[in-house]
Every structure is written in structure tokens, then in C-alpha cells.
Structure 1
Amino acid sequence: MKRKNTAKLLAALAVSATLVSGCATDRGGDVGVPVAGGSGTGTDSSSASTSAQKFGDLDSPCGEGDAKGSTDQGVSDTEIKIGFGDDRGYVKSPGLNKEMSDAVNAMIDWCNEQGGINGREVVGTDYDAAMTQANSVMQEACASQFMMVGYGFAMDQTAEQTRVACNMVSVPGFTVSPDAANGPMTYQGVPFPVDYANGSQWFQMAEMHPDLLNDFDLINSTMPTIISSTTKIRSIAEAAGFKLKNCGVTLNYEGESSYVPFAEKYKECGVKGLWTSRSASPGELNFVKALDQVGMDPIFFGEATWYGQTVSDWNKDTGLLDNLNAGMTFQMLENADKVPAVQKYIDLVEAGGGKTALLGMQAASSFLLWATAADECGSDLTRQCMVNELAKADDWTAGGLHAATDPGKNMPATCGLMTSLKGDEYSQAFPATSGEFKCDPKYLVATDRSTWGTDLGSDRISTKFLNPNLIKPQS
């Protein structure tokens, strides 16, 4: 992507506009969902905007303009139709990932208040996949939307064949299944590919507790996506120097009548630290209670989804997670006073009565990535142009929301930070300076092929649903 030229920038700065920051709070994440905080700029570009508005250190990609033409499905002289959504209607977890839709709604409002994208209004359709309806949602989107942006469906594997078949270019907030994570025509603000991983949390845990390298184990689950995640985590932990125990404990995803026998088994195994790839579900919290019942107080270590209001509220009453650590490549919400992009995200979402959370920041990052590419395309707003521009995106931080990633190459960050919890207060545990990440090339871990869950071509794209009509980057 190209940078603004001086003339356009001066013209943009000359425009006088009154902008209302549009758009309340939880940090949360959720079951079986990967969550990916910085240095770096936005992308290797920022195109002309008719406004001096910024998102952190990223020049706004939104603004007035004279883009014309019905250039692709969902694009007209006046509108760009995009789909987004979450699983908020899932009956077993009402409101699941709603923070993602709250974020995209807020970002759309913010963008349209500036004039849209080159003068075209962004019109969003907010889909509810309710966990089991992802394919139905994708079928609807295939018939009307230009692109899918900032969404996250926990069962995205059920929709991937449909998405690829209709050439629905996507910038999701997160992906779960291997075929979606490395899918064709997919670019994420915070990539989560199957063949590479950001292992910063394990390397940082090794620095924090070098005496415990032989005393950690993983909590296994019966849920397929968590099985896949846990298998990958084992290889990452070993790359960071851990010699994990194998206590043979697997928890039923649907819950156990009693978690005490499982806690006893870990105690007998001599465990002093436990990793979970699952989020803070009622079952997982009951398991934490069982650890206390058998006299264990291990370091409880998990995905960034353990950074959330549900966890802090629960710990305020119990204190049983005062040994919790969660690794992140996003900035903490508590660092908003040090990181303008985080403050901007909070202001926008809260103004609209929405829920702020880690997955919400992830959705906001992907929306900004999409909007930056769409701005570059100008009047020639086609899916082909979007793929061309998105494939160039690198050094992406969404204005400072997270550590730098490479969306164009589907590569994660090589930076991270560690959070800790005491009572209901989260703080940054590592590195020592709040608002800073530690970065190291060794944090990027190539995962074992046996953990991928799909076959990749030489371009690192899943081969499962490939067809001759795919939209590929053109030079």
C-alpha cells in the first residue's frame, strides 16, 4: 500500500470537520476462541483521507470523497455493504462475543461520521451465528455483502467451504478452524495461522519462573478445537524450554459431576503450574475450586481470554485465581492512559453503550485494516483490489492496539506481555514497564505439521476448498 502524498495530506488537514466519537465495559473473551498488544505503525501505507482524524498513531482511512461506480457486489456510488457478527445468540452462553459486533458497529459509526470511505457510506449487516448457524450466515452474506469484516464465529469450519466458493473476501476478527485460519482470501489484523505461533507467553513464563520448567502440565479437553489448540501449545511450550508433565487428565467440555478427582490426579503428579486453552467457563472455574479443595495453589496460566471481567469478578469473591497469568499481544485496557489507540477504542465503544473487551479490540483492528485497504482502492473498489492491497499490509498495529503483525503474509507478532490478577485488579506482570511489550524473534515458533489440522500449499494456504476461481493477489 502507498503512503499519502504531501499534497493530499495538506488538503486533508485543511478540512474542518466536527467529529463525534461514537460509541461500555468488559475485557472478556470466550470459549475455544483464540485471541491474539506495541511498536510499529499501521500498515506500510495510509492513503488520503478528507479528515485529520486519527486512531492512535494511524491516520484515519475514512473521509469524504467522490468515489463512483457499482464496482462489485455490495458496492454502489453511495454505499459499501459489509457483514460482521458473533455468536451472541448461543443459548448456552448468551451474548457470546458480542463485544465484537459492538466494536464494528462503533467503528462503522466513527467512519461514517467522517464521510465513509471516499464518500461511500459503510452499511453493515450484523449477523448472529449463534454457534451453530455460521454456514447459514455465510450463505446470506454471499448473496449481498461486499466483504465480511471484523467477525468471529466459533464454528467457522462449517462456513468455510461456502465462503470460499462464493469468493467472499474476508478480514475476520478471529478464526478458529485450521482451514479458516489459513484460508484463501482471508486477512486478519491479528493473524492466527496454524503453521506459526506467537509463543511469547511461554518464553516469558520461563523467564518469570525458571525453577518451574519441569513442573507444568496442560489441561486437556474433549472439544475438538481445544484439542487442536492444546496440541499446538505443547510444542510451543517445549520450544520455550518446558518439559511438560503428562498427568493424563482430560476434562469433559460439557462439564463433570465433580472435578475433585481430576484435581487429585494433578496433585499426585506433582504439578505446580497448569495451562488451559479453554476460557473461563463455569466448568473451568469449578475446576479451579476443586484445586483449592485438594490443597493445590498452582500458577494458573491461560490464553488471553482469561483477561476479562467474568474472571476478575469471580476472583474478587474467591481469591482463587490470584496466581493467574495470561499472555497477550494486545495492550491491556488498563494501559489506556499510556496508549492513545486503546483510549480511542474505549471512547468509541462506550459512547454507543457497547462492551469493551479484548475480542472487541481484535475486531476493531480488522475493521481498520479493511478500511485502510478500501481507502486505497478509491473508486476501483473491487474484491480484487482489496486482495491486492491487503496482501501488501505489514507492520500492522491498528494505531497501537497491539504488537506489530504481518496480515499480508498471515504471520503473527513476535512480541508479547504478561498480565496478572490480584483480587479483581489486572496489572502487567511482564515486562515491568506498563504499556510496553517484550519482543524477540524466538517468540515466533514454527509449529509441528502434525498439529496443523489441514494441508497447506507452498503459499501456506489451506488446500481443502481451493477452486479455479479464487481471487489471488496481483502485482
Structure 2
Amino acid sequence: MLSAALVLAGCTAERGPMPGGYAMGGAEPAAATSDESFGTLASPCGPGDASGATDQGVSDTEIRIGYGDDRGYTKSPGLNREMSDAMSAMIDWCNAQGGIGGRQIVGTDYDAAMTQANSVMQDACATQFMMVGHGFALDQTSEQTRIACNLAAVPGFTVSPEAANGPMTFQGVPFPVDVANGSMWFQMAEVHPELTDRFTLVGSTMPTIISSLQKIRSVAEAAGFDLLDCGVTLNYEGEASYVPFAQMVKDCGAGGLWTSRSATPNELNFFKAVTEAGVDPVLFGEATWYGEAVAEYNAGTGLIDGLMAGMQFQPLENADSVPAVAKYVELVEGRDGKTALLGMQATSSFLLWATAADACGSDLTRQCMIDELSSIHEWDGGGLHAVTDPGANLPSPCGLMVQLDGADYSQAYPSDSAQFECDERYLVRTDASTWGTELGEDRVATKFLGPAVLTPRA
């Protein structure tokens, strides 16, 4: 998918200094051990003779991993089971082929319910080999616990700065604090050049969203936007009335609204109030605004027609032309699970973990996993998403945008379906003042580091 070869200065097996550009390359996945594939990726699963109780959660016959989400948080019903559904399906798919080197994967499905992430991590620290394909909105509350017990992780997503650049952490689609994929803002400037001086950011009282908005502001400015400051900061728990905030948007003359929050009822109520105030801005948000709940809401109201979301993943609507998406849908729906973007994120991270675990063979230790994961510098989950660099914790220089009309999403940019637009400019170095944490020279968050933390061996 890359339109040009982009160069990353000083890229090594470890997370090195801030990059000057971008490149793909690195260790090749281990040879497939079964005839299965996931899109363009030869399956890392299959029979074998791996053996030994090499680490916590590993035996001659089993590998224990934890996963999960925040589905029990009742105030955000959109935080449901799609990540757990994907992980369950992928574990079954892998085990049916023989597991990893002959060891069966035993998964523990956790529900952090937003506020219980640390309790989840305490349990995982005592029982699991690794955490894989999970995503907890308040992951900053569990990072100290995870690092203290050297629990390596391959999450489906991270939120807090401490987790995004955390030690012993690798993601299929990295989201570091110091380098951002700004494709959606550059592409929005192409789609709506008349709005580059009329966009405003919707603020929140939630610390992780505050941190996210600081980074988004620097990315938008790098893409040529001169953002308005309309003074809108919404209480994360909800407002008695959104009318005063809608009036702020109207008085400010905003023609576009960006939100870093997911499509919760509170955020939808705000957008409804904006529409009722007689304002019709372009609505723009994170990839979390691509989802069934959002489409169903708009089908009944039409209030967010034209909503646009930036993505590094292929939309589900492209399943007919993207084998990896079709495979994901087949596996999850085959277990009566729910397909969604977060599920694809968990799937990519599971495949990344499995690829490294297969390479470790009988030497399946957390140290070996970190060595293998840090050497993977070209990853697209078999075609699920644009190519990333998990080993160096760098996002892709590619992206696309989808648009919602009625109950249907369609690819809005670029015009060629199932294609990403790639540009070196899309990788934006963010200012250190926006990081929300201190990074070492290796770009790893230093807040909870201790002398026993595992790092990649040369």
C-alpha cells in the first residue's frame, strides 16, 4: 500500500531515538506451521513439539494469556464485547490448528468495567503469561502493577501516555505519544479546505481525553489548521443541559467539530443540541466513531449525517476486496460474535503475539517474546490495516477516511476503495509538552520503570 519508500533514520531492533522519517523492514515471520492463512499472513499456529514450563503460564501443553475490555461499564453501552469476541474466535482458530508449536492457548476473559483495570492486572500478574488483544480505557491505573510484575503485553489499544509508550508493550497498530498518525487531518484539509480555520476541538474533563486533545491540536496545526477556541469542555459524566455548549459553538462560528471521545450517549446528546441550535458543522472524530451503534443512531435520527472518521484499518465494508477482513468476519460471526473496529485491533495484536510466540518455540519466555516483538518492523495483520512498525512503536504513514450517511459508512478518502493514502507528512512529531509523561532516550515512559524491567536483548 505504500506509495513511496520512506526512510527511518536510526531504526534498530529496540525503540530508538525520535525518527526523522519512516521505513519498513525487519525480521521475517517464522515459517508457517499449518496450511492456514489469515489474509496475506501465513498462520503462525499449528502442531509442533515445543515443550517445557519455561515461564509463568507456560507448560508442556498450555500457554495462558489474558484479554478483555470494559464491557461492564454501564454508562458507556458502546463498550461491549467486540474485543473479547475477536480474541475468543482467534484463540479457537489457532487451537484448531494445533495451538502455538503444539501448546494450546488458554485465555482468561477479563471485564475491567472501566474502573477495575488494576484489579484485573493484579489477577493477571499472578496467573498469566502475557496480556494480549485487550483494551482498558483507564489503563493508566494498572500500568504500575503490570510493570512491577514484568507482565509483557500486546494490547489491542492503549489510552494513557504511560501505557502507549510503556515498557514491555507492543501493539499491532501503535499509538505512541511522541509520533502521531495525522493522516485524517491532512486528508480533511483535502476534503474540506474551506474549514481549515473553522474547526474547534470538543473538550472533556477526563484526563486521558485532555491528553489526547493536546496531541490532536499539534497534529491539526501541522496539517495546516488554525483551530478555533470555542471554550467547550464537557463533563465526562454528562451535563444537565448541552444547550449552553451548543450556543458556544454557534457564537464561535465553528464549521467543524472534532471529538476524541467515543460515541457515548453524552457526546451524542451534545451533537443533538448543536443541531437544534441551528448549526450544521462537519463532525469529525477518532476511528471509534466507526461502528454499528453510531450507524443505528443516525439511521433513526439523521442528526450526524456526514460524520467523518479517520482510520488506519480497512472498513468492514471492504470485506469483499480485502481477504483479511473477510477472514476476521468469518471467524467472529462463526461464533455469533460482534464484528467491529476494536475487534480488528484485538485480532491484529493477537496475530502479532502469535507470530512472536511461534518464533520462540520451546524457548517461550517473556524475554524471548520481547526480543521477537521488538524485531518486527513491518506489520499489517495480514492486510487488516496499513503497515505499521510495532518493534519501534511507530504508527503507519498511511490512512483513509470513512463517512456516515444514514446507516451506511463508505470510504470518503482516497477515492479508490480499499486503498490507503500514504505520505511522509502524515507522521507528525508531537511536542513534548503534549506527551503527558516523560520518555527516556529509548522513547519508553519512565514513570514506573525499575531495574528488573525486561528490555530487548541485542
Q: Same fold (TM over 0.5)?
A: yes
Q: Offset at 1:42?
A: 10
TM-score normalised by L of structure 2: 0.93
Q: Which deviations, in whole Å up to 9, do the C-alpha atoms of 1:106-131 show, x marking residues without a partner?
A: 00000000000010001111111111
Q: Which deviations, in whole Å up to 9, do the C-alpha atoms of 1:203-252 show, x marking residues without a partner?
A: 00001111111111111111111111111111110000000011111111
In the alignment, does 2:54 pair up with 1:71? Answer: yes
Letter in 1 for 2:424: P
Summarize the alignment of residues 85-234 of structure 1 with structure 2, pairs less than 5 Å apart.
Answer: 85-94=68-77, 96-234=79-217
Question: What residue in structure 2 maps to residue 295 of structure 1?
Answer: 278
CA RMSD in angstroms comes to: 1.3
Question: What residue in structure 1 maps to residue 389 of structure 2?
Answer: 406
In the alignment, does 2:259 pair up with 1:276? Answer: yes
Kept in 2, the 8 Å contact 1:111–1:117? The answer is yes
Distance 1:399 1:42 in 2: 15
Question: What residue in structure 1 maps to residue 411 of structure 2?
Answer: 428
- Percent of residue pairs identical: 70
Distance 2:454 2:232 in 1: 44
TM-score normalised by L of structure 1: 0.90
Question: What residue in structure 1 maps to residue 33 of structure 2?
Answer: 50
In the alignment, does 2:376 pair up with 1:393? Answer: yes
Q: Offset at 1:46?
A: 2.0
State the SS of the aligned residue for 1:143. helix
Letter in 2 for 1:432: S
State the SS of the aligned residue for 1:135. helix
Summarize the alignment of residues 374-393 of structure 1 with structure 2, pairs less than 5 Å apart.
Answer: 374-393=357-376
Q: Which deviations, in whole Å up to 9, do the C-alpha atoms of 1:285-332 show, x marking residues without a partner?
A: 111111121111110000011111111111111111112100000000
Kept in 2, the 8 Å contact 1:49–1:118? The answer is no
Distance 1:90 1:311 in 2: 18
Question: What residue in structure 1 maps to residue 239 of structure 2?
Answer: 256
Q: Offset at 1:419?
A: 0.4
Kept in 2, the 8 Å contact 1:41–1:399? The answer is no
State the SS of the aligned residue for 2:294. helix
Q: Offset at 1:401?
A: 0.3
Cα distance, 1:126–1:204 mapped onto 2, change above 3 Å: same
Summarize the alignment of residues 7-22 of structure 1 with structure 2, pairs less than 5 Å apart.
Answer: none
Q: Offset at 1:266?
A: 1.0
Q: 2:295 aligns with which of 312, 315, 333?
A: 312
Q: Offset at 1:268?
A: 1.3
Question: What residue in structure 2 maps to residue 335 of structure 1?
Answer: 318
Kept in 2, the 8 Å contact 1:297–1:323? The answer is no
Question: What residue in structure 2 maps to residue 361 of structure 1?
Answer: 344
Q: Offset at 1:43?
A: 7.3
Kept in 2, the 8 Å contact 1:42–1:399? The answer is no
Distance 1:91 1:428 in 2: 31
Distance 2:75 2:45 in 1: 38
Cα distance, 1:266–1:95 mapped onto 2, change above 3 Å: closer
Flag structure 1 segments of 5+ consecutive residues without an equivalent. Answer: 1-39
Letter in 2 for 1:403: A
Question: What residue in structure 2 maps to residue 437 of structure 1?
Answer: 420
Distance 2:76 2:205 in 1: 18
How many residue pairs get aligned? The number is 436
Kept in 1, the 8 Å contact 2:78–2:293? The answer is no
In the alignment, does 2:343 pair up with 1:351? Answer: no
Kept in 2, the 8 Å contact 1:97–1:359? The answer is no
Distance 1:43 1:101 in 2: 30
Distance 1:192 1:206 in 2: 22
Letter in 2 for 1:120: R
Kept in 2, the 8 Å contact 1:298–1:323? The answer is no
Kept in 1, the 8 Å contact 2:152–2:168? The answer is yes
Q: 1:460 aligns with which of 434, 443, 449?
A: 443
Q: 2:230 aligns with which of 218, 241, 247?
A: 247
Flag structure 2 segments of 5+ consecutive residues without an equivalent. Answer: 1-22
Kept in 2, the 8 Å contact 1:327–1:417? The answer is yes
Distance 2:166 2:308 in 1: 31
Distance 2:320 2:453 in 1: 44
